[in-house]
Amino acid sequence: MPQVVLVNPQIPPNTGNIARTCAATGTELHLVGPLGFEISDRYLKRAGLDYWPYVKLHYHESLEAFKNIHQARGGRWLGFTVRGSFNYVRFEFQADDWLLFGSETTGLPPEILSICDATLYIPMAQPGVRSLNLSVSVAAGLFEARRQLGYLV
């Protein structure tokens, strides 16, 4: 099953909302530090409601620490970015994909994008709108991957 990776998230309610989505779908959530908040942040906890016991949460202090986990497990790194090469609905997802999302303010850093197996974008009709909210982007990408892989039953 695809996994969600947040690299340097900054806004606790977004991460809490993403945790709820991951809890509801049984998806592992990886947080790669440094974070813009403490894991114990009350806004993070509030956004996740009482679903935290159902979140398969992994915290990695650095990108290097996360790379070690990825190397042990395998799978592709798919970086979501407004400058991606592939429309996410036309991309063929695999069960061992890692869906990477960057911080709300800067997105994925170039050094991560350069090592992704593919970069994906979510198309937007209004050119003046730069991006979607992080939690919305994660939900869109995760549910498309799950749809393609037959996990929506």
Would you state the structure tokens that stand for residue 39, as one six-digit string? 């894991």
User: 47 or 130: whose pLDDT is higher?
Assistant: 130
At the fourth CATH level, the homologous superfamily of domain 3-148 is: SPOUT methyltransferase, trefoil knot domain (3.40.1280.10)
Helix locations, the chain, DSSP H: 12-25, 42-47, 63-73, 110-113, 134-148
Across residues 97-112, what is the average pLDDT? 95
Asked if residue 40 belongs to a known ligand binding site, the reply is no
CA–CA gap between residue 49 and residue 87 (Å, rounded):
32
Q: Answer yes or no: is pLDDT of 43 > 80.
A: no
| Pairwise pLDDT comparison (54 vs 93), residue with the higher score | 93
The pLDDT tens digits of the residues spanning 144-153 come to: 999 999 998 7
pLDDT given at position 36:
85
Q: How many helices (H) and strands (E) does the chain have?
A: 5, 7
Q: Is 135 annotated as a binding residue?
A: no
Please report which confidence band the pLDDT of residue 130 belongs to, taking 50, 70 and 90 as the band edges: confident
Cβ(104)–Cβ(11) under 8 Å? Answer: yes
Whole-model pTM? Answer: 0.93
Predicted pLDDT at 13: 86
What is the side-by-side strand order in the sheet with 98-101?
56-60, 28-32, 3-7, 98-101, 77-80, 118-121, 86-87
131: annotated binding-site residue?
yes
